[in-house]
Amino acid sequence: MTNDVPTDRLAGFDFAAHNAEVAELWDAYYDHRPYRVPIILGINSRFFVLNPDANTEAVDFKSYSTDPDCMFDTQLRSSRWNRLNLLQDSELGLPERWAIRVDFQNYYDAVWFGCTVRYLDGQVPDTRPEFADHPERVMENGLPDPFGGIFSRGLDYFEQFQARAANEEYLGRPIDAFPPGCVCDGIMTIACNLFGPEFVCTAMAAEPERLHVLFDFITEAIIARMRAWREKMDLSNYRDPFGIGDDSIALISTRMYQEHVLPYHRRLYDFFAPGEPHAIHLCGDATHHFPILEQELNVKSFDTGFPVDFATLRENLGDDVTIYGGPRTEFLKDATPAEITAETRRILGSGILDTGRFVLREANNMAPGTPIENIEAMYYAGRRYGVLTKTGERC
């Protein structure tokens, strides 16, 4: 691949000073003596591919998803662009080593179970609930092969990534490649993608035993796949901490969650990280489940979406619970920098900082087309209004 790069927003930036400050900030945070709220960005290849100012080669998601060389090269360009253009409390500038992974976005679980990926103009790839007419059909061939279907392609991509990484550098730095298959998007979310949310929610009330058979099948398959990939890639002891996502639980009440979904989340957590503090990623308004998730599943880190009442959330959770969140993505994309500064200040003044266990970020996954000026407005507001004392109390 070529090393030609566009002009960067952070040209001339003092990366060494920034990176030293960031290392000190996170050391203090993890040592439970935060002095400022850390500020991060949820950025993946979607932000780069759908941003013509950054994606100057006009790579589309079909090419990205079906051509391993395109995926490899695009991820490197995306990582370079992020590190030289977007302010956040992460290491910026050229890294010692680049990190890329086989990336099938959020369609991989549904495709593995038998759905067909669809490539949409101006959007990420997606699937339709192809088992809606007869959900039990998903079980006809037994558990999917952990290395079959889309993950056969994923393994092939990973091996090609490794071969290229062993013989190439990018901008003078070596490259590390990481595999797919080791995580999932959540049991209820997978079910909604396979059968449709209307069936899943209706079956909870009308045919709970039928739904439990399907949830049990999905959970068994996911555990088998994640275990197989982690063992193959020697990641069986990986902890950081163990986390899952399951955005679709925002659709249901906490009583329904406890009865129909929590047992399967418990199986995942108990299998991969028994007893340890856990993490969860939940877009949408899933905060009504957070106290139960903390009490029943030992979830101590919540990555939130929108809407979120930060004051109530902090009151309802323990002092040792970490919350990630901030201004909603549509707001960050469309508001003015002054409006973003005011909203960030409001969130940080809500009481969410009272224990110091808060990380500021967009809620949730930065929208393509968000102006860099708006991202910087959130960053500088976080630095200004997220200052704490050395004991973790808000100034």
**Which residue's entry shows tokens 């995942």?**
268
Nearest to 189 by CA among 109, 302, 300: 109
Looking at residue 241, what is its pLDDT? 79
- Per-domain residue ranges of the chain: 55-238
For range 2-29, the mean pLDDT? 88
pLDDT tens for each residue of 218-239: 999 999 999 999 999 987 655 5
For 319, the 3-state DSSP assignment is: coil
How do residues 238-264 score in pLDDT, each as one tens digit? 556 799 999 999 999 999 999 999 999
Q: What is the pLDDT of residue 392?
A: 52
CB distance 241 to 289 below 8 Å: no
Write down the pLDDT at residue 389.
Answer: 62
One DSSP character per residue, 179-206 reads: -S-S--S-HHHHHHHHH-HHHHHHHHHH
Residue 7's pLDDT is what? 83
Q: Quick one: pLDDT at residue 46?
A: 95
* pLDDT tens-digit map of 116-144: 999 999 899 999 999 999 999 999 999 99
Mean of the per-residue pLDDT values for the chain? 94
Q: What pLDDT score does 235 carry?
A: 74
Helices (H), the chain: 15-30, 45-49, 61-66, 68-83, 108-113, 150-167, 187-195, 197-206, 208-232, 254-260, 262-272, 290-297, 310-316, 329-334, 337-348, 372-385
The Cβ-side half-sphere exposure at 67, using a 13 Å CA radius, reads 11
Q: 105: buried, middle or exposed (CB in 10 Å: 19+, 13-18, 0-12)?
A: middle
Residue 71: pLDDT over 70: yes
Whether residue 42 contacts residue 366, with contact meaning beta carbons closer than 8 Å, is answered with yes
What is the average pLDDT across 21-41? Answer: 96
Alpha-carbon span 362 to 314, nearest angstrom: 18
Q: Indicate the pTM of the whole model.
A: 0.94
Produce one character per residue of 202-214: b if its CB has 16 or more CB atoms within 10 Å, e if not: ebbeeeeeebbeb
Tokens linked to 21: 């400050």
